[in-house]
């Protein structure tokens, strides 16, 4: 008979045999005798085998340990529907162990910023089927911390997925984007990554569209997990996936190139009597209030900047102050608001990301740390062999 050193590692066949022996010893006795035996089992765990329920749990844990780890982050914050629908689907698919490390608040336009000389808080979060933490930092902070080994016990995930972001990140918006930066940080650390965004449109899109977006990109994710394990996924690039406004009616996948598309920043001066502290400016937003989002100091310059954000997306207000050391009476304060305004794009090349997205395709753009043309070639064969794409 095989020697048993650890009840948690009992082979299923051996457990079955031992259970049959125990049943025969009990002789099919009544409920009271059976209850007594169970009590004895509980009091002498060193000599009796685990129950069938414990064995099933052990087998499930062993199965989970054999699965690859996929790390999910985003730019919109851990409570965003894009991330939650994505994690739910990954858990349901059961191909991987899902770990989440995402900002605790919206950091969608944080680019590749990192937090230095300040303490980052990592707080556990409840997301069914996943190990999750919310981080008081940027998407890059989240990925960097997760891959450092300081937060999770594993050394490296198989794949990092950043998204699903609310709003497209085509063209030059990739440089502003926190969700793309999260995937880029993974690539810098040598981990394959995907960034995913939904082309959200005000008064047209709704949160349920994220569920459809997950269904659209899930085949790409599953293929990436499979082929990374096989060693045939492109190593030199990250894939940026842009999903059209109506995900369920998309025209298919299209391999695209990064365009030079961008929205125009529009800075508007705000008079002192319309500063958020005044009722006039906040007359239609009294319930929103103001949040202090970031305090930054510039030690090399005479001034300092204070950034305040409202809950209105893409709006930043900056208070400019004069040189340090001067009396308050000599300081000059000016107030500004910034918004991104869309503008018409003249480029009609159908292979560019924003144009394919406008035409209803799911645009997949390889992004590289080196020359993007090389990355495009490296990724095109894999994408073409995995998905039916229009090239």
Tell me the per-residue pLDDT of 5-41, one tens digit each, with 9 for 90 and over: 343 444 454 445 445 544 544 444 444 443 334 333 4
Please count the structural domains in the chain: 1
How many alpha carbons fall within 13 Å on the CB side of residue 335? 14
CB 349 within 8 A of CB 221: no
| Residue 26 covered by a domain | no
Sequence-ordered strand ranges (E) for 104-224: 122-125, 130-135, 159-166, 193-198
CA distance 177 to 186: 15
Give the pLDDT score at 286: 33
Q: What CATH number does the domain containing 76 carry?
A: 3.40.1210.10
User: What is the DSSP annotation of 151-179?
Assistant: SSSSS--SEEEEEEEES---TTHHHH-HH
CA distance 193 to 171: 18
| Residue 343 covered by a domain | no
Query: What's the average model confidence in pLDDT over 306-332?
Result: 48
Domain that holds residue 78: 69-259+350-376
| Residue 225 covered by a domain | yes
| Residue 94 covered by a domain | yes
Give the pLDDT score at 149: 92
| Residue 35 covered by a domain | no
| Residue 37 covered by a domain | no
| Residue 227 covered by a domain | yes
Nearest CA among 224, 267, 166, 189 for reference residue 366: 224
What's the pLDDT band for 326 if we cut at 50, 70, 90?
low
Percent of the chain with pLDDT over 90: 46
Per DSSP bridges, beta strands 264-270 and 253-255 are unpaired
| Residue 119 covered by a domain | yes
Is the predicted pLDDT of residue 382 greater than 90, yes or no?
no
Percent of the chain with pLDDT over 70: 65
Which residues sit opposite 292 in a β-bridge?
Answer: 308
Give the pLDDT score at 162: 97
**Residues 261-294 pLDDT 10s:** 677 778 889 886 665 543 333 333 333 333 333 3
């Amino acid at each position: 008979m095989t020697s048993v050193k650890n009840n948690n590692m009992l082979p299923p066949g051996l457990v079955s045999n031992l259970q049959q022996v125990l049943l025969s010893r009990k002789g099919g006795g009544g409920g009271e005798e059976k209850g007594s035996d169970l009590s004895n089992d509980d009091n002498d765990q060193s000599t009796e085998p685990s129950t069938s329920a414990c064995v099933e749990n052990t087998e499930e844990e062993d199965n989970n340990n054999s699965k690859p780890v996929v790390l999910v982050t985003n730019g919109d914050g851990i409570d965003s529907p894009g991330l939650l629908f994505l994690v739910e689907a990954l858990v349901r698919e059961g191909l991987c162990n899902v770990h989440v490390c995402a900002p605790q608040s919206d950091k969608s336009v944080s680019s590749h910023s990192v937090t230095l000389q300040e303490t980052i808080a990592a707080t556990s979060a409840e997301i069914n089927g996943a190990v999750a933490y919310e981080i008081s930092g940027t998407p890059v902070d989240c990925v960097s911390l997760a891959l450092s080994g300081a937060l999770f016990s594993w050394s490296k995930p198989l794949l990092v997925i950043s998204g699903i972001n609310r709003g497209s990140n085509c063209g030059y918006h990739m440089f502003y984007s926190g969700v793309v930066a999260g995937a880029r940080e993974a690539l810098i650390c040598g981990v394959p990554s995907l960034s995913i965004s939904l082309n959200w449109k005000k008064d047209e899109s709704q949160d349920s569209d994220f569920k459809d977006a997950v269904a659209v990109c899930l085949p790409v994710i599953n293929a990436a997990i499979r082929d990374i394990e096989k060693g045939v996924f492109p190593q030199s690039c990250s894939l940026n996936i842009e999903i059209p406004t109506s995900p369920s009616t998309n025209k298919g996948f299209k391999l695209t190139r990064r365009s030079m598309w961008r929205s125009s920043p529009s800075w508007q001066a705000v008079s002192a009597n319309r500063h958020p502290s005044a009722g006039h400016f906040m007359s239609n937003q009294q319930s929103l209030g103001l949040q202090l989002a970031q305090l930054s100091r510039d030690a090399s310059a005479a001034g300092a900047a204070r950034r305040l954000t409202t809950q209105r997306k893409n709006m930043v207000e900056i208070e400019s102050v004069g040189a340090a050391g001067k009396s308050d009476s000599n300081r000059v304060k000016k107030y500004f608001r910034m918004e991104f305004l869309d503008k018409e794009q003249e480029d009609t090349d159908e292979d560019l990301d924003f144009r394919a997205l406008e035409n209803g395709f799911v645009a997949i753009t390889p992004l590289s740390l080196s020359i993007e043309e090389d990355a495009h070639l490296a990724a095109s064969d894999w994408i073409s062999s995995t998905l039916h794409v229009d090239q």
